Amino acid sequence: MTAIADIPTSRETTTRHSVLPALLPFLGVFVLAMILPFVSNDYWALIGTRAAIYWVLVAGLNLVVGFAGHLAIGYVALLTLGAYTTSVLAAGNVLPPVPIYGALIIASCVGAVFGVIVGLPAMRLRTFYFAMTTLGFATIVTQIALAWQSVTGGGIGIVGPEFSAPFNTPWGFYYLCIGFAAVATWLSANIAYSRFGRALIAIRDADVAAEATGISKPKLLVSIFLLAGAMAAFAGGLFASLQTYITPDAFTFDLSVLFFIAILIGGRGSILGPMLGTIILTILPEIAAPLAAWSTFLYAVLLLLIVLVMPGGIAALLDFKSRRPLASNRAIVPRIAGLSEVLRKTATTKTLTLREVVLTFGNVRAIDGLDLDVKPGQIHGLIGPNGSGKTTTLNVISGYYAAKGGTITLGDDALPPGMPELRAGKGIARTFQTPRVIGEASVLENVMVGGTIEGEATFAEALLSLPRHHRDERKLTAQARAMLGVVGLEALADVRADRLQHSELRFIEIARALMLQPDFLLLDEPAAGLSSDEITRLGALIKAISRRGTGVLLVEHHADLIFDICDQVTVLNLGKILAAGTPAEIRVHKEVVSAYLGG
Ligand SMILES: Nc1ncnc2c1ncn2[C@@H]1O[C@H](COP(=O)(O)OP(=O)(O)OP(=O)(O)O)[C@@H](O)[C@H]1O
């Protein structure tokens, strides 16, 4: 077998972090946009401007839909809100007239607030139900625009705001909107390729793992909804100016569908794809003018085609490197010596203690008065027959379930029941029985997600690409690469995680957990599905991690691994302790042998 580190073909290293190749397609689109005025007429200025304005909205919405995975289908509402706010302020219907740029800024602030209000249901609702609430909001906004005649002009409408020279000509306004579109691209890319963007994808594809790494979903989503709402309303102001006159009819459901489908055609988790999707969908009705009346039907067909033929959208079509074959005879060879470089934190002296912990599911007492001490620098094995409560114990410690009774303490501090997102900050990391990785992200990005809470830059700093954000990225990238070296997956760093073998996913999870420099590491059946060689290497890795001061709680069915590396073993049966002691004691414990190990 070839050690992964020796495989040259798997060094397919064009990543989100190698900036220039990733920038080229955007520069290409920008150059084409700059050439357009010289090769076309005013009609195309209108189409080009419209595409740029739509993209300002879609660039923000893409973070909500494509990255966070929330089906906000009624975003035309925020376009409408921005259009009316800008127009009303600029026209001076309510207050003295506000200059257009001031009106745009105020409209963005209003959009940000309403972006959060529309987004709030996403904290609890997903998919269809959330989509319906956004649609409901779209209807409400249109109805208000119709009914509030004194301000909005009702069905008659209102004049859109006007820009002054040099932006008051078709091509002048076009250049201005291309400029805004470029800024929107930059802002959304800054977030997408920051720890916040990775956290969004983690929430979308592996939310339980995201919580375990300390990612706070509500805080992150509020920031994203603020940004997307502001961008949509800003686009609304530009749209009103482009239309010169707006009525509620200008904001059709078709527009909402266009924004949404542009992202689906583009592909989730991509910026370039949805940008191309927006351009295509804006131009399509123009070059197929006779079909304009059929646009909703066309969108529906297009959507079906995407789902059936290319579910990954344009981004997947352009992802050439993921089509290159990977070497099939890969072996995972951890470089344990590297641990001293990546686990530098001073070891804790605290013990993780469970006392009388109880958790019930209906009538099932999954854990029934459990006492457990996981000491720093030791490996504590937790074994028992299927359904004996091992995973539930891990879930209670990691806050995924709130215990119904008993206490869990870390040294003298009681761990609050539930609240899994707070465990990472307390130094507790975990892996999962079924690996929870982000298939569409690279191996490196998956591991970087583990260090999300280590980042220091705020959301605003990442948005504006300020130095602290770059420091975070450099630090996280270097740490994650080093961590991948330790677990033996360095050569696969830039490969999409969904191309990896099951055993490799298990090692990714360990690398991700280690990014927290945890005091305690909870491992749920890390050897399941591994070959005997891999189990031996895994055992050596776990032992080395514990010897650097981390307390390990190891749930495992491979008795040999447990007896080889554990310092203490607890055997569960029906949620209660059947036996506890050293591996030597457990190996010969009569009841354990008859109930679990076999005669
Ligand atoms: N979410 C849940 N809802 C209802 N019952 C549950 C839930 N999770 C676990 N249980 C029940 O709690 C008991 C303990 O389950 P748990 O998964 O902790 O066992 P385990 O020892 O980890 O088993 P295995 O080795 O098969 O993973 C079982 O009876 C199981 O059916």
Q: Give 204 Cα–ligand 1 centroid separation in angstroms.
A: 25
For ligand 1, say whether the CB of 384 is within 6 Å of any of its atoms: yes
Q: Which of 383, 391, 578 gets mutated to test ligand 1 (max ligand atoms within 8 A of its CB)?
A: 391
Backbone phi, psi, residue 567, to 5°: -95, -35
pLDDT at position 2 is 39
For ligand 1, say whether the CB of 570 is within 6 Å of any of its atoms: no
- Do residues 423 and 214 lie in contact, with contact meaning Cβ atoms separated by under 8 Å? yes
Q: Give 211 Cα–ligand 1 centroid separation in angstroms.
A: 20
From CA 439, how far away is CA 205, in angstroms rounded? Answer: 8
Q: In what order do the strands lie in the sheet with 576-581?
A: 428-430, 520-524, 551-555, 379-383, 568-573, 576-581
pLDDT at position 288 is 67
pLDDT at position 106 is 96
| Tally of CB atoms within 10 A around 112 | 21
Query: Which parts of the chain have pLDDT scores under 70?
Result: 1-19, 122, 125-127, 288-293, 295-296, 598-599
Q: Which two tokens stand for residue 280?
A: 């295509």
From CA 316, how far away is CA 274, in angstroms rounded? Answer: 12
Q: Give 387 Cα–ligand 1 centroid separation in angstroms.
A: 5
| Tally of CB atoms within 10 A around 23 | 12
Give me the domains of the chain, ranges plus CATH numbers.
1-21+324-347+437-517 (no CATH), 41-260 (no CATH), 349-427+518-599 (3.40.50.300)
ipTM comes to 0.96
Helix axis angle, 42-62 to 217-243, nearest 10°: 170
Q: Give 355 Cα–ligand 1 centroid separation in angstroms.
A: 20
Surface-to-core class of residue 440, CB atoms within 10 Å of its CB (0-12 exposed, 13-18 middle, 19+ buried): buried
Measured by CA distance, the residue closest to atom 8 of ligand 1 is 392
> Which ranges constitute the DSSP H helices of 92-216?
100-119, 127-147, 149-152, 170-192, 195-205, 207-212
Residues whose CB falls within 8 Å of the CB of residue 163, separated by 6 or more in sequence, listed in order? 100, 172, 173, 176, 241
| Tally of CB atoms within 10 A around 91 | 18
Q: Which of 364, 395, 400 gets mutated to test ligand 1 (max ligand atoms within 8 A of its CB)?
A: 364
Collapsing DSSP states into helix, strand and coil, what is residue 8? coil
Q: Which two tokens stand for residue 428?
A: 């507790």
The closest alpha carbon to 235, from 293, 176, 294, 277, belongs to 176
Q: Which of 361, 394, 395 gets mutated to test ligand 1 (max ligand atoms within 8 A of its CB)?
A: 361
| Tally of CB atoms within 10 A around 245 | 13
| Tally of CB atoms within 10 A around 90 | 26
State the DSSP H helix or E strand holding residue 352, giving kind and residue range, or none if neither.
Answer: strand 352-361
pLDDT at position 409 is 93
Alpha-carbon distances of 98 from 88, 101, 531, rounded to whole Å: 9, 8, 70
From CA 217, how far away is CA 200, in angstroms rounded? Answer: 8
For ligand 1, say whether the CB of 361 is within 6 Å of any of its atoms: yes
pLDDT at position 11 is 32
Backbone phi, psi, residue 333, to 5°: -120, 95
Tell me the one-letter amino acid at 255: L
Measured by CA distance, the residue closest to atom 11 of ligand 1 is 366
Q: Give 359 Cα–ligand 1 centroid separation in angstroms.
A: 11
pLDDT at position 305 is 81
Surface-to-core class of residue 588, CB atoms within 10 Å of its CB (0-12 exposed, 13-18 middle, 19+ buried): exposed
Burial 211-238 (b: 16+ CB within 10 A, else e): bbbbbbbeebbbbbbbbbbbbbbbbbbb
Q: Give 595 Cα–ligand 1 centroid separation in angstroms.
A: 18
pLDDT at position 292 is 66
Q: Give 197 Cα–ligand 1 centroid separation in angstroms.
A: 33
- DSSP secondary structure code for residue 442 in this structure: B
Ligand 1 atom closest to the Cα of residue 575 is: 14
Q: Give 365 Cα–ligand 1 centroid separation in angstroms.
A: 10
Measured by CA distance, the residue closest to atom 25 of ligand 1 is 386
Tell me how far the alpha carbon of residue 176 is from its chain's centroid: 32
Ligand 1 atom closest to the Cα of residue 433 is: 27
Phi-psi region of 417 (alpha: psi -120 to 50; beta: other; left: phi over 0): beta
Alpha-carbon distances of 458 from 82, 109, 123, 200, rounded to whole Å: 26, 19, 21, 15
- Do residues 274 and 25 lie in contact, with contact meaning Cβ atoms separated by under 8 Å? no
For ligand 1, say whether the CB of 366 is within 6 Å of any of its atoms: yes
DSSP 256-278: HHHHHHHHHHH-TT-SHHHHHHH
